[in-house]
Structure 1
Amino acid sequence: MALGILLGDYINPSPKIAMIGCLTLLLLLGWEHFFVQKKRLHFGILVALLTAMIGMLSVSLATIKNNPHHYSHFGIAQSRTYTLKIQEVLKENAFSQRYIAQLQYMDGKKLKGKVLVQINKNPATAALRVDDELITHTTLQAVPRPLNPYQFDYGSYLEGLGVHHQIRLSKERYILKEHPTETLWGLAARTRNHITSQLRKEAFGTAELGIIQALLLGERNEVTEATNTDYKDAGAFHILALSGLHIGILLGLLHFLLAPLEFLPNGRVVKMVSIVLLLWAFAFLAGMSPSILRAVTMFSFVAYALYLNRPTNHFNILALSFFFILLLINPLLLFQVGFQLSYAAVFAIIWIYPLLQKLWIPKNWVLKRGWELLAVSVAAQLGVLPLGLYYFHQFPGLFFLSSLLILPFLALILGIGIVVITLALTNSLPHVLVVLYNNIIGWMNTTIAWVAQQERFIFRNISFDAIQLLLGYTILITLVWMLEKVTFKRTALFLCSIICFQLWVIGKTQHIYQKELLVLGHTGNNTTLLHQTGQKAMVYTNNWSKANRMVTDYSIAQHLRQIEHRPIKNSFKIGKESLLVIDSTFSKLPSHYLKATTLLLTQSPKINLERLLDSVQPKLILADGSNYHSYIARWKATCQKRKLPFHYTGEKGAYIFNKP
């Protein structure tokens, strides 16, 4: 199924072709099933092909180009009147409040599609809520793509959520509809807002309240950036992200608390139905995010397995929820980082944890429980390790310590939290319970912060590309396969996978050693030039703090070992290319001037570009983010008049000089 979705996203077949493929394979499978008595290998192959084709069909139907009602098919270059419905409230940044909205109408025509809405911050403007509907006359804009090499691609991330355009608004550019239609998601959001307002009346600390909202309501918008960083560095960020961990704990609590129902007539059925309903009620309360829907779906199957009271294959449960989410809700979830991390962790726990558990079976109860927690944590971290290195380029070495200190008490923390919310809604929350719970959350934050401060155990800026990701999982899979049963073949495969990984790293390093290039990056109000020679880079900039992000991203991707900072020079040469830098201090050409093939304009120099072009006669003009926009427009017009190439990094991104 997953391979079919990946292949469908790559080749992008039409729904008609995918449907014909599904029907053809279904007919062949039916013939094989009813008319061939002895099932052979090709029966299994047909089943696999049909499942993959279903994946291709599902992703084809989810692609916007195959959706005739998507707004992008109706001309969006000019201003139009849009009716939008807020679906999700995102974390605001320093300049704007941000939302995901569903487009309902465009110039009165009913259409579909999601957009990112950014509203300029204004103290007089109240934040929008889920289900609010607004009308505006504006132009849809493309989500900006990264301007520097290896920078995080926010546009690609939004596309994975089904968002392809954005709208920027001020308070005066839209009106709110008075009586918007209500949805289940809006009701859930209003319920969470009511709970939050009740909790704000109590004596909870700001940091503690943010953690309570994340743990119990699935809202991380109020968690401070410092707290977020602490949990990431301590390898405990999964505690804040409502997922299978929390739903599994909740299932265990409900299974224990509702045990007396089994003494009633048909009590086991009542208990199973009650558990499933309560799990979905919690999912509703937590906003029905994709991670919660995945987890609740999976553990609903687990609850049914507990009701049957018979051994069940956990891989089947995982596959059922995996199939359900992908096929019936959104196959594009496969491309979301959270989805990948979630299933990688659960799969690893199911597969690797039993092997680790068998390595040591202590008789002491405390040691046994401690070892089980450590084994679960190690299994989960092994499962997400390649993905974590690929996406985040860091590894928290003390993740096991965080797990040992926090996970044994997480069930208690969640249980007390549910009681706190219930009592707060009835205005009967005792002050002593508020103080107790606030101290518990504060203790957890302090513990995580202490672990995160052990900098020597946090491995950052690890270079890890897509090939290393695949080879990393190959190593992990062959290692576990070998540990299940040590044979010559399995050991050889494991060692071969390690050798392949090493060969790729060596080849990649050799390729980097042969590189020499000069990169003009885009940094706001600053000039940054990076000269790479092998695994060494000279960074020429006058403001390192503004260049740091760009240089860090580039150095991780290129596996640079040495970086030096230097002030900007007025000329550079790489291969046959020569670059002359013209800044605000320019008055005349330098005495050592050589004929330049490229001019770089920085810091808004007051020059007569026509006269300068006559003197230098370059082949290309560059301008970076340190210049005034009015100057950029004037220079661009001059170059267009002379039919001379003009490259502004704020529009076209970084410019790279490669040495032949």
Structure 2
Amino acid sequence: MSELEIAWGCTFVIALACYPLKVYRWRMLFGIVVYVNVALLGAVLFLSEREAIRYAWVKKPVVYIGTIMDVPHHKPKTMQAVVQVECMKVDSAQCWQAVDRKIVLYWMPDSIQGVLSCGDRLVFRSRISRPVSDVELSGFDYGLYLERQGIAGTAVAFAGDWQKLKSHTSLSFRQRALLYREQIVRIFQSWGLEGEVLAVVSALTVGDKSELTQELKDSYTAAGTSHILALSGMHIVLLAFIVSWILYPLRYVRGGKWLLSILVVIFLWSFAFLSGLSPSVIRAVVMYTLCVVAAVFTESRFAGVSSVSLAAFLMLLYQPMYLFDVSFQLSFVAVLSLLVIYPLVERLLHSRWWVLNYLWQSLAISFAAQLGTLPFILCYFGTFPTYFLLANLVVTPLSVVILALTLICLVCGAISWLVKGLSLSVQVLNGIMEWVQGLSGSQITSVYFSPLQAWLLALCIVAALLYVSRRSARKLIAVLCCLDVLMVTFLVDRLASTEDYLYFSRSGIYTKREHNVVQLFAKNGICQIKTLRVALANDARWKDKEVTERLPLDYIYICKGFKGDMEDLTALFQLRKVVFDNALNESYKKRLRDECESLGIACVDMTEKGSYAVLIK
């Protein structure tokens, strides 16, 4: 038993001992102990889940047997899917060893083996490993991201190294949901939808984002409406509104309020199934279900906050890794912002004209959600859409139209004029987002907040809300203190000296200053960065070449595609250090390293790291 588990058990016993106490002054002790106990429980569950995901993979290609867990996706040269690895067989072993881990598998299509689909079992030979991290360069740890999704590693199986097995596992509930989602997308295609229209309809209605282009994603991101392309609470609320409006006559029936709530919840869970049971949809439907239950049993104004808190607790109890999921954080913070901030903003203006009231309420909703998630957005993405209020005025009504037309066409059939109206609505939505993106200053970029600064900004927002709700000099002082501390952190960052770094990563050479990353290119493969001269070796350009005088090189980065050996390079250059990319063949890399050792040349192997950094002086 670990120390954390012992601490959790102790706090649990203390909480049980404090609960029967009737003395008023002990109420705070009981609350503190319960909070500490829940926090320790979360830590225990998190460490347990992390150990259940991580696996010490064999550092060479071996044979594995696995099952495809989702619908395979097309990549430029490969197919990709999540595979549940059941067992493996090392060359020296005589029996299969159990593995029971999930990986992301990329495989080359093979006309002999046919096409793999969800639920198929296959045997493949490959080297599975946890993706190396280049977080220092890109700021994104892909390996850690996969781990938080329950993925233990990645692998590539080339044509001829995998074979489809005849046995087919019974489909799980989620796999059946994914197949139904694919059938719905094919129905959209049968309506004649294609290109960006098909991509937006598929993403907005069933959460299939595979057809979205990067340009389309960028336009929605710059407009501050990227949430519309990922199924979330907004879609659930809009669908609930549409269904409630259709079934509104039930309110006039005895017990109609209960019946209407039950039917809406059943519809939303059915929608969650048809959308592939993605975590974001499950999260939103769970929150809505709890809010409906709370609304039926209580009229408390805190019912919404309590329901959201309970939904978060239950989901974290089921999967502690959700806590570190950015979409999980943004989703719950956005909902809490709507529950807390929106009423404060909405009551500031009331008019006798319903159009003006609608516009103000729409602006208040967008403002509340954006304000609540602002610390997270600046910390994770470092961007801010300046015209988000303008864009969201259009997004909400058009989303209602698109969802309603799609629902009607699915239920009543593809009526030609309805399909044309659906296509036109999506085209108008895409056009407006592109127009907003093209406006001057549509997006503020490179405004990165550190975690400390994000917390300080969140405290500023909370203090400001408290001051707005109940104005007092004490709350105003708290707001000013938080702002002062935040400004001091910016001043310290500004006064701190910034340094330039040279990075070797992903078969490329980069320079980085703070968050600005620039990739270097040169026709002859040699770059001069201040006092450093570096070369990229990824082809056969220097094989069997001769020169009269060797050129001094500080670094040479040898990547996949390089042809030759170290003698070819030393005949042309005076090498100070050699950097080997992690994508190089292991046996070839070992031979080159041995040559460097015999020639007395320093070398760096990036097998365990995704990048290698050098300070530029």
**Which moved further from structure 2: 534-543 or 473-482?**
534-543
d(CA) in 2 for partners of 1:150, 1:105: 34
Gap change, CA 1:624 and 1:289, over 3 Å in 2? closer
d(CA) in 1 for partners of 2:516, 2:60: 47
Aligned equivalent of 2:225: 236
Matches within 5 A, 1:136-215: 136-146=124-134, 149-172=137-160, 173-215=162-204
Aligned equivalent of 1:315: 305
Aligned equivalent of 2:480: 495
**Which moved further from structure 2: 89-98 or 621-630?**
621-630
Aligned equivalent of 2:36: 49
Q: Which of 445, 467, 477 is the aligned partner of 2:430?
A: 445
Aligned equivalent of 1:346: 335
Letter in 1 for 2:312: F
User: CA contact under 8 A between 1:394 and 1:460: conserved in structure 2?
Assistant: yes
User: Is residue 94 of structure 1 aligned with residue 76 of structure 2?
Assistant: yes
Q: Secondary structure at the match of 2:118?
A: coil
Letter in 1 for 2:522: N
Aligned equivalent of 1:22: 8
Aligned equivalent of 2:55: 72
d(CA) in 2 for partners of 1:193, 1:29: 49
Cα offset, 1:299, TM superposition = 0.2
Aligned equivalent of 1:34: 20
Q: How many residues align?
A: 600
Aligned equivalent of 2:522: 542
User: CA contact under 8 A between 2:566 and 2:595: conserved in structure 1?
Assistant: no
Aligned equivalent of 1:252: 241
Aligned equivalent of 1:479: 464
User: CA contact under 8 A between 2:87 and 2:99: conserved in structure 1?
Assistant: yes
Aligned equivalent of 1:568: 527
User: CA contact under 8 A between 2:71 and 2:178: conserved in structure 1?
Assistant: no
d(CA) in 2 for partners of 1:124, 1:461: 49
**Which moved further from structure 2: 227-236 or 307-316?**
307-316
d(CA) in 1 for partners of 2:289, 2:218: 33
- What's the CA shift string for 1:271-306, capped at 9, x where partnerless? 332222221111111111110111000000122234
- What's the CA shift string for 1:213-244, capped at 9, x where partnerless? 11111111122222222111111111111111
Matches within 5 A, 1:224-303: 224-264=213-253, 266-303=255-292
d(CA) in 2 for partners of 1:230, 1:322: 31
Letter in 1 for 2:148: G
Matches within 5 A, 1:58-137: 58-64=45-51, 67=52, 72=55, 76-89=58-71, 91-107=73-89, 108-121=96-109, 128-137=116-125
Q: Secondary structure at the match of 1:136?
A: strand
d(CA) in 1 for partners of 2:230, 2:147: 22
d(CA) in 1 for partners of 2:512, 2:43: 44
d(CA) in 2 for partners of 1:71, 1:649: 21
User: CA contact under 8 A between 2:177 and 2:274: conserved in structure 1?
Assistant: yes
Gap change, CA 1:121 and 1:506, over 3 Å in 2? farther
User: CA contact under 8 A between 1:101 and 1:116: conserved in structure 2?
Assistant: yes
Letter in 2 for 1:587: V
**Which moved further from structure 2: 377-386 or 256-265?**
256-265
d(CA) in 1 for partners of 2:422, 2:571: 70
d(CA) in 2 for partners of 1:306, 1:90: 41
Aligned equivalent of 2:92: none
Gap change, CA 1:159 and 1:605, over 3 Å in 2? closer
Cα offset, 1:307, TM superposition = 3.0
d(CA) in 2 for partners of 1:419, 1:535: 47
Aligned equivalent of 2:211: 222
Aligned equivalent of 1:407: 396
Q: Which of 452, 456, 466 is the aligned partner of 1:467?
A: 452
Gaps of 5+ in 2: 90-95
d(CA) in 2 for partners of 1:496, 1:80: 59
User: CA contact under 8 A between 1:249 and 1:411: conserved in structure 2?
Assistant: yes
Gap change, CA 1:368 and 1:128, over 3 Å in 2? farther
Aligned equivalent of 2:93: none
Q: Which of 587, 591, 594 is the aligned partner of 2:547?
A: 587
Aligned equivalent of 2:323: 334
Cα offset, 1:422, TM superposition = 2.1
d(CA) in 2 for partners of 1:334, 1:435: 42
Q: Secondary structure at the match of 2:436?
A: helix
Letter in 2 for 1:450: W
d(CA) in 2 for partners of 1:33, 1:405: 52
- What's the CA shift string for 1:20-46, capped at 9, x where partnerless? 333322221222122444343212111
Gap change, CA 1:234 and 1:187, over 3 Å in 2? same
Letter in 2 for 1:568: C
Letter in 2 for 1:459: I
Letter in 2 for 1:93: K
d(CA) in 1 for partners of 2:434, 2:516: 34
Q: Percent identity?
A: 22
Q: Secondary structure at the match of 2:380?
A: helix
Q: Secondary structure at the match of 1:63?
A: helix
User: CA contact under 8 A between 1:130 and 1:185: conserved in structure 2?
Assistant: no
Give the TM-score normalised by structure 1: 0.81
Letter in 2 for 1:77: K
Q: Secondary structure at the match of 1:72?
A: coil
Gap change, CA 1:85 and 1:531, over 3 Å in 2? closer
Letter in 1 for 2:409: V
Letter in 1 for 2:438: Q
Q: Secondary structure at the match of 1:191?
A: helix
Aligned equivalent of 1:3: none
User: Is residue 397 of structure 1 aligned with residue 357 of structure 2?
Assistant: no
Cα offset, 1:416, TM superposition = 1.9
Matches within 5 A, 1:592-603: 598-600=554-556
Cα offset, 1:208, TM superposition = 1.3
d(CA) in 2 for partners of 1:538, 1:110: 45
User: CA contact under 8 A between 1:125 and 1:171: conserved in structure 2?
Assistant: no
Q: Secondary structure at the match of 1:83?
A: strand
d(CA) in 1 for partners of 2:68, 2:449: 37
Q: Which of 574, 581, 595 is the aligned partner of 1:638?
A: 595
d(CA) in 2 for partners of 1:611, 1:433: 66
Q: Secondary structure at the match of 2:107?
A: strand
User: CA contact under 8 A between 1:609 and 1:635: conserved in structure 2?
Assistant: no
Cα offset, 1:339, TM superposition = 0.8
User: Is residue 436 of structure 1 aligned with residue 421 of structure 2?
Assistant: yes
User: CA contact under 8 A between 1:87 and 1:131: conserved in structure 2?
Assistant: yes
Cα offset, 1:642, TM superposition = 4.8
Q: Secondary structure at the match of 2:79?
A: strand
User: CA contact under 8 A between 1:90 and 1:99: conserved in structure 2?
Assistant: yes
User: CA contact under 8 A between 1:58 and 1:331: conserved in structure 2?
Assistant: yes
Cα offset, 1:147, TM superposition = 7.8
- What's the CA shift string for 1:299-346, capped at 9, x where partnerless? 001222343372342210110111111112x11011111111111211
C-alpha root-mean-square deviation of aligned residues, in Å?
Answer: 3.6
Letter in 1 for 2:11: L
Q: Secondary structure at the match of 1:162?
A: coil
Cα offset, 1:91, TM superposition = 4.9
Gap change, CA 1:635 and 1:185, over 3 Å in 2? same
